[in-house]
Structure 1
């Protein structure tokens, strides 16, 4: 199976449990969003994938085999703490990094020209990295992850600090790599971007995978909710809907006149019954399902239990258990 598999990873720093039986996979051609609060275990998991850290137990596999040193040469990694040499020229640095992955000088030069042009920093190949803006340094860092044409992409906060144009460029590149069959996993706190870009999402809390699936799968509920806006007195609408079984109705505080209708039992006929009752009272201006955003889902997972207290300085000293 052409998938990156993370199988029951465990990692502890003394009494701090950074990861507990963390398990998920990223399929070929899939963009996977890895989200969680600071300190949740995301960076620790990514560093274990790359061999920067060793797990206490568990395994990382690619195409069914353990991700060993040779296989890791085919992974493109973008760390959260950017690792560029500030006084080295952009082009020379990228060619050097490509060479470390086994590329010939000619192939490395061609790849550097392609990716710096594609990411909008082609004119800066002759500049020292420290002379670039933070956004352009970010683009160069992504070029470093892509320059050797990796089979897998693992990106830790790749969109951090980027302006909207740069976000669009980087999003387009990730889509292109996924369309070419590359599994792409990235962490981000920009949940609207994750929701828009990712095929599946994993929400991790306190080192455990608490929710996993597509946005639609994560939104699935036994108690669907609809927004109802009728040209009639809200009290009259609520009284009419109260005669229907298995529904509760509440006013929308921020939008007077609108109502939220929640199904307390699973009934496929509920939407039709609601709409029929509303139409008898007046013109229906809006009747639509209320779908929670990824941010809503994230808050629900995180609020289900607080992460254990972590000393930030100790966390940083322990390779950033987040």
Structure 2
């Protein structure tokens, strides 16, 4: 089987805008999905993630802006080489699992034999090797999700656009999916996926795009986003930490007994505060690394 490879090709989303009547669902959204990297697309319900993905895939028209692939406007043949997993699953409930994956593979230009071999291998990776002849509707919702993921990966796509691919998957299936995605990124495939599971996005993704009310609120690697967030510290002394409330240039976020979470509002306050803490029996002074959930909340406020 001859497979397409993306090499160093990237997806560039440039000022995408989409309106529904008088409402702007996506407003000048821009970001890049780099080759060989997983980009997490996060945001609350109605943020515009699905609409953006549909515009990338050509399912929805673009009112303003452009999608580029390999530095040029994306075309129909380019999109046909992508793997796409939509929000609304599109498989046939009364068709046997393997038969419909073979059919979908043939629609993508695969031979029947290649489609059968690749589909069987993917289903075995998802522990569905014994369910090849079963109708889709006979599977649990989680197993139906596995089949949908296999359909997106079947034809060795040059890029992957996956809308909530981990929804409904148990931990074992998540691990299998992660392994498959990492194999694709090692081949240079750019991967964009949306998810509400922020801990999973934080663990998997090389880059993040945070969307709220149709606009990009933050974008970058996890480390870059953490560096832009509030720089908080935990300070613990021998006595009650309430004295920090009167310390110049210090914003006290929380106090619990002899420990406090603080932010410095003036550069000079750090040294002065540490000196004062030493006089009170300093036990701990350490930076607090924000979680992705905290970064997300800060970005969308």
TM-score (norm 1): 0.84
Name the structure 2 match of 1:257.
258
2: CA distance between counterparts of 1:229 and 1:93? 62
CA distance change for structure 1 residues 40 and 248 in 2, over 3 Å: closer, same or farther? closer
1: CA distance between counterparts of 2:241 and 2:19? 56
User: Quick check: 1:127 aligned with 2:134?
Assistant: yes
2: CA distance between counterparts of 1:9 and 1:275? 48
Name the structure 2 match of 1:315.
none
1: CA distance between counterparts of 2:241 and 2:40? 43
User: Quick check: 1:32 aligned with 2:33?
Assistant: no
Name the structure 2 match of 1:234.
240
CA distance change for structure 1 residues 302 and 248 in 2, over 3 Å: closer, same or farther? closer
User: Quick check: 1:184 aligned with 2:182?
Assistant: no
2: CA distance between counterparts of 1:262 and 1:235? 14
| 1:249 positional shift | 4.1
Name the structure 2 match of 1:318.
none
| 1:32 positional shift | 0.6
Name the structure 1 match of 2:281.
282
1: CA distance between counterparts of 2:59 and 2:241? 61
2: CA distance between counterparts of 1:266 and 1:199? 31
Name the structure 2 match of 1:316.
none
2: CA distance between counterparts of 1:228 and 1:250? 11
- Partner of 1:34, secondary structure, is strand
Which of the residues 274, 298, 301 maps onto 2:299?
301
Gap runs ≥5 in structure 2: 1-7
Contact 1:234 1:259 in 2 (8 A): no
Name the structure 2 match of 1:213.
220
Deviations 1:213-268 (A, max 9, x none): 112211224852111233x11248638x93xx643445435xx332113121346x
Which of the residues 157, 161, 164 maps onto 1:157?
164
Contact 1:223 1:263 in 2 (8 A): no
Contact 2:252 2:260 in 1 (8 A): yes
Q: How many residues align?
A: 294
| 1:24 positional shift | 0.7
Which of the residues 225, 245, 250 maps onto 1:247?
250
Deviations 1:133-157 (A, max 9, x none): 1111111100000000001000001
Contact 2:146 2:169 in 1 (8 A): no
Contact 1:41 1:206 in 2 (8 A): yes
TM-score (norm 2): 0.90
Name the structure 1 match of 2:68.
61
Name the structure 2 match of 1:306.
none
2: CA distance between counterparts of 1:222 and 1:172? 31
Name the structure 2 match of 1:6.
13
| 1:10 positional shift | 1.2
Deviations 1:199-225 (A, max 9, x none): 111111121111111122112248521
| 1:273 positional shift | 6.5
Which of the residues 42, 46, 57 maps onto 1:50?
57
Q: Comparing 94-103 with 189-198, which one deviates more in the overlay?
A: 189-198
Contact 2:207 2:220 in 1 (8 A): yes
Contact 1:223 1:265 in 2 (8 A): no
Q: Comparing 180-189 with 114-123, which one deviates more in the overlay?
A: 114-123
- Partner of 1:166, secondary structure, is helix
CA distance change for structure 1 residues 156 and 6 in 2, over 3 Å: closer, same or farther? same
CA distance change for structure 1 residues 150 and 222 in 2, over 3 Å: closer, same or farther? closer
